[in-house]
């Protein structure tokens, strides 16, 4: 799904996913409803020295104003939560490529995934600690703000929601911080993959419990979160098993040097002749040794027969696949392939394209490696490997 860059913080690109942009006004509306204002006000009064006149919060445009500010404040807290992870990861030498805010919160994207249990423990714990500190700061501010009902409600809500965010994230289920903390603690005394499988199983169990509670409480959003947690737990387990399975294998071990390529000037008619003769349905588009795109049978089918002779590959090609170095870890290439949602990566050395690794090479390698020892059998989903 599409992301939009909005700037950087300490050199880390910040992105908004389309789901966040759609969900933010919905969240503002949900918070502004009279029943929700009454509910939240009840919690806030318990920690505030001031009473809250809920009737004043429900007059005119005040509910929408309160909903908008608190919704934006929530995601500002989520962003700080992710920055807590990111800044801690940087202290351990881990590069953060970006932070993305989306419908279920935020994600800090790390270039290298920590496998040292001590590093993962502190990086994962940094987020909840940051949220608690934010909540405490707003709690302190709540004690000194003027007794204006709107101000008291907003400050009190941000105090409560940031602590709630920390507590919810401590649930031992991937992809929440508690799941990573549990894995880190388990990895002190067992292999990383084994720790991941156990933590993922715990996470799936918690997701099922959340789903049951969501159905009984008629909470659709919580049900969506439960489904996401269940799927994410399985994905984390599969990714870790794949990482262990590929081990020290490099891209060079997997790549094919048989480059099926055409030039940007090749016409669709010429390409179709090659497709028929070579029985190949996908070609790299190369210009002076550099891959500039990818063209498939699916693209040329869209060109009418009368226009094929005058239409070139450059007119219909897709963007170029991601590039990796031949000595890069095979798992990192697999991750690049997954993130691109394609089926191949090109191998580039000293500015020259020397090979390609496709979905088929990964699948074959994984099947062979699984057959060489008593490893856990896994399925490689389409689009992942």
Give the closest residue to 25 by CA, choosing from 77, 69, 90, 91: 69
Contacts for 281-287: CB closer than 8 Å, 24+ residues apart: 282/343, 282/344, 283/313, 284/259, 284/260, 284/320, 284/321, 284/346, 284/353, 284/356, 285/261, 285/313, 285/314, 285/317, 285/320, 286/259, 286/261, 286/262, 286/353, 287/263
Specify the pairing of strand 282-287 against strand 12-17: unpaired
pLDDT for position 54: 85
Percent of the chain exceeding pLDDT 70 equals: 96
Q: Which domains does the chain have, with CATH numbers?
A: 3-246 (no CATH), 251-370 (3.10.580.10)
Task: Measure the CA–CA gap between 124 and 82, rounded to whole angstroms.
Answer: 10
- pLDDT(65) > 70: yes
Longest CA pairwise span in the chain (Å): 81
- pLDDT(375) > 50: no
Task: Measure the CA–CA gap between 26 and 182, rounded to whole angstroms.
Answer: 33
For residue range 148-170, list pLDDT tens digits in order. Answer: 999 999 999 999 999 999 999 99
For residue range 287-325, list pLDDT tens digits in order. Answer: 887 888 999 888 888 888 889 999 999 999 988 888 888
Omega before residue 175 within 30° of 0, cis: yes
Which one has a higher pLDDT value, 19 or 193? 19
Task: Measure the CA–CA gap between 343 and 238, rounded to whole angstroms.
Answer: 18
pLDDT bin (cut points 50, 70, 90) of residue 372 is low
Measure the CA angle with vertex 130, ends 136 and 118; round to 5°. 135
- CA distances 152 to 57, 132, 167, Å, are 11, 19, 23
Measure the CA angle with vertex 117, ends 115 and 121; round to 5°. 115
Task: Measure the CA–CA gap between 9 and 116, rounded to whole angstroms.
Answer: 27
Backbone angles phi, psi at 280, to 5 degrees: -125, 135
Average pLDDT of the segment spanning 46-59: 87
């Amino acid at each position: 799904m599409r992301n939009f860059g909005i700037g950087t913080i300490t050199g880390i690109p910040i992105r908004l996913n389309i789901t966040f942009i759609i969900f933010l006004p919905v969240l503002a509306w949900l918070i502004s409803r009279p029943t929700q204002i009454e509910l939240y006000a009840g919690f806030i009064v318990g920690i505030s020295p001031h009473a809250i006149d809920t009737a004043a919060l429900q007059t005119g445009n005040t509910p929408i104003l309160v909903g908008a500010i608190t919704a934006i404040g929530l995601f500002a807290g989520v962003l700080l939560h992710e920055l807590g992870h990111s800044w801690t990861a940087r202290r351990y030498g881990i590069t953060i490529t970006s932070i993305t805010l989306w419908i279920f919160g935020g994600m800090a994207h790390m270039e290298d995934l920590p496998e040292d249990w001590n590093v993962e423990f502190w990086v994962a714990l940094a987020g909840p600690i940051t949220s608690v500190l934010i909540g405490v700061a707003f709690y302190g501010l709540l004690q000194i703000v003027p007794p204006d009902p709107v101000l008291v409600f907003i400050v009190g809500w941000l105090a409560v929601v940031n602590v709630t965010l920390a507590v919810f994230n401590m649930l031992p289920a991937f992809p929440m911080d508690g799941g990573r903390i549990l894995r880190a603690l388990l990895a002190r005394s067992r292999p990383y993959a084994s720790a991941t499988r156990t933590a993922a199983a715990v996470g799936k169990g918690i997701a099922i419990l959340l789903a049951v509670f969501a159905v009984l409480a008629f909470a659709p959003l919580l049900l969506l979160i439960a489904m996401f947690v269940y799927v994410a737990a399985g994905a984390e387990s599969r990714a870790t098993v794949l990482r262990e399975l590929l081990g020290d294998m490099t891209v060079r071990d997997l790549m094919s040097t048989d480059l099926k390529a055409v030039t940007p000037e090749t016409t669709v008619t010429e390409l179709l002749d090659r497709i028929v003769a070579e029985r190949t349905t996908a070609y790299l588009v190369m210009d002076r040794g550099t891959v500039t795109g990818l063209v498939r049978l699916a693209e040329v089918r869209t060109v009418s027969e009368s226009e094929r002779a005058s239409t070139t590959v450059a007119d219909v090609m897709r963007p170029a696949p991601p590039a990796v170095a031949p000595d890069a870890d095979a798992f990192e290439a697999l991750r690049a392939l997954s993130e691109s949602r394609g089926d191949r990566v090109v191998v580039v050395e000293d500015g020259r394209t020397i090979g390609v690794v496709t979905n088929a090479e990964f699948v074959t390698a994984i099947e062979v490696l699984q057959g060489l020892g008593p490893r856990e059998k896994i399925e490689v989903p389409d689009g992942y490997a």
